[in-house]
Amino acid sequence: MFRKKNRSIIISYIALRRLIGILGMLLPFICILGGLLFAALYVEPSISDYYYTNMRDFFVGLLFGVSLFLITYKGYELIDGLVTSASALAGFGIALFPCLHGSSPTDPVGIFQLSPQLSNTIHLSCAAVFFTLLAINSIFLFTLTKRKTLLPTKNKKKRNIVYITCGIIMLASIVIMVVLFLLFPNTEIDKYRLVLIFETIMLLAFGISWLVKGETLFRDMPRIL
């Protein structure tokens, strides 16, 4: 009976990892489709801009959902929990502090009714921390083994390649967006939806990393004792 219950807990934990990945990957596509289908909106310049559309509840709710899952996640080492908890707090910050938007350049925004400029600064800082920590988690923590004495299996090595690749993609996307903001005016960046594109790339990388961690791909076969 005890073994059965323990196995059920393990399966639920793996499902949680998969769910985190799926939710992250769905965020940009559901926001875009929801805006197009139900409000006849043009595609917004960034995912965060959907806070000011009919998709606000979904945007905030999904971010809260992912953040809650992250804060409950525990890995093999103490640092795993610390990094994912910090990521979760940053995720809450993204949802609670809206970005700057042309429709309300001066009116107080968000739950705390902050000035748009201050809210935007907090929002961008939280977004940078969120994706940076997720990238660090993917590169340095997902690649750890349950027992340091065990050699990584063939599939574990494949998973590690995916984790590292996804982490590098997230970090590279952050750097590219910073360079774009430094070199080009916001109007050009918004026109070509560059922020939206790189946000989507980062969320896909994040989702794939967590799906693999949830044993969706390159799963190890159970050890036969």
More confident residue, 49 or 74: 49
Q: How confident is the model at residue 224 (pLDDT cuts 50, 70, 90)?
A: very low
- What does the DSSP 8-state code read for residue 75? -
- Res 13 pLDDT > 80: no
Euclidean distance between CA atoms 206 and 90, whole angstroms? 15
CA dist., res. 171 & res. 93, Å (int): 20
Instruction: Tell me the pLDDT band of 1, cut-offs 50, 70 and 90.
Output: very low
Say if residue 75's pLDDT is above 90.
no
Report which of residues 5 and 123 the model is more confident about.
123
* 165 has pLDDT over 90: yes
Of residues 153 and 133, the one with the higher pLDDT is 133
How do the residues of the chain divide into helix, strand and coil, expressed in percent and rounded to 5? 70, 0, 30
- The confidence band for 103, taking pLDDT boundaries of 50, 70 and 90, is low
Q: Six-digit token pair at 113?
A: 């009714």
Residue of higher predicted confidence among 68 and 8: 68
Amino acid at 112: F
DSSP 179: H
Q: Whole-number mean pLDDT of the chain?
A: 89
Q: What is the pLDDT of residue 217?
A: 80
